[in-house]
Structure 1
Amino acid sequence: MSAHSPAWDPAQYLRHAGHRARPFADLLARVPALPGDRPRIADLGCGPGNVTALLADRWPTAHITGYDNSPAMLDKAVVDHQGPTPGGGRLDFTPADARTWTPGEPYDLIVSNATLQWVSGHPDRFADWVAGLRPGGTFAFQVPGNFSAPSHRLMRELAGSARRRDRLADVLRHEDAVLAPEAYLERLTGLGCAADVWETTYIHLLTGEDPVLDWVKGTGLRPVLTALADDPEAREEFLAEYRAALRVAYPAGPHGTPFPFRRIFAVATKEA
């Protein structure tokens, strides 16, 4: 995450849990067989644990640890998901920061879903994580690739306006928060992995009033909401302007509001 670590709200994040889980399922579908009979799996940036639990469906005997640096997210994950799994495995959750976490034991799979965009310089961590894999193990991740989309561009424009610049100009991420797919491929193959990298643009059909605003309140807008938490008037003023701009950028249709969302995927398997 950036130096301005946002405060997270698990309930707000989970309001769009179905849409948010879809890319993780698509990522897991490309993960090959793991080397261990009882795989050891790490989920970096596990959030409230709802998608971490999907790992136990795919690998029922696995010992899975979800790592996150948000106490609120971890508390939710522990209450809802920690413990033995039906297939004889186990789910645990523990504090860790992806900026500094290094595997303390060999892993069959290290996975990260929509987290690394918050970690400045995250490609420089790949070598440590690949080194922590068993031979034949896999490192797989998914990150948003939509930082040039209106949802983010409008947010940055409002935050960078003259009257807000001093307070908000440095809290938001820009397009360099993630690499181009080709650059991820180069990094991962350079570490001796067989890499599969691709991108997908989902067209989520959102319902309800101002659904795009509701979506970003759970993720991309968190740094602004955190920075303005002690100034409710400034917070509501920002939200009013942003809401109006989003209504123009993402007009509601007869069946809901289409919300295009590009994501970048990578599956890198270490030589057996």
Structure 2
Amino acid sequence: MIAAGRPVQAVIFDWGGTLTPWHEVDVPQQWRVYARTVHGLAVDDPNMPLDELAEADSLALRIHEAEDRAWRRGRESHQSASLAAILAEAGVDPEHDRHHLALAAYQRFWEPHTHTDPQVRPLWETLQRMDIRVGVLSNTIWSRAYHREVFARDGVLELLDADVYSSEIHVVKPHPDAFRLACEAVGVAPEHSVYVGDRLFEDIHGPHQVGMRAVLVPHSDIPAAQRMPVDAAPDAVAHQLLDVVDIVARWNDRTDGSDPYGAGA
């Protein structure tokens, strides 16, 4: 049992692979979609002019390589990155007249992979009935506005007390500053906060550095290139997201017989 004096007052969640189910994604294809749209080509047209196709796919390769370097810097030195910075490194002109059309096509490519797990809404509603604040801390190149559009689309944005995205701060997880900033955002000290995620390096080792407890959601098939060697063990394992309710209730030692799910309320 968790020692007295450390009640859970906030639960902060990873996004991809935790609040969204894990998906296998054709990563190079996202940039082919973007680059071909910038060049005014239909993405799947078999009759595209070969010279224009080659030019577009060369741009896609440059962006993919820039993104790969950005994520590698994140794993190795915890440096954050943004979509705008990656595109700039690849030589993309943000003033190009088809840039916004290409961004829209890129987002359409990702749309099937961004849907919030159906358990998120009942989970967040239950935590709030338990007077526990709900937060998000995500390693991402996407903007806060885009993530909030996703949460709003899926009907959970109003349940979120605070959210922090690496694209708008100086570091990525597992740097301790990322977790400190997330705790500051929800207004709860790290020792009274819990982090929930699907990766041992970023989501278990990371929060432990600042005194947070950490819950592993072991559903994601993390690519070998993204796995970092780390000696870390979660404080608990959630085999489905709603297990977080029981874990937190146990840590808060709800011996009064109350029902955290609010049944009959």
Please give the TM-score of this superposition, normalised by the length of structure 2.
Answer: 0.33
Please give the TM-score of this superposition, normalised by the length of structure 1.
Answer: 0.33
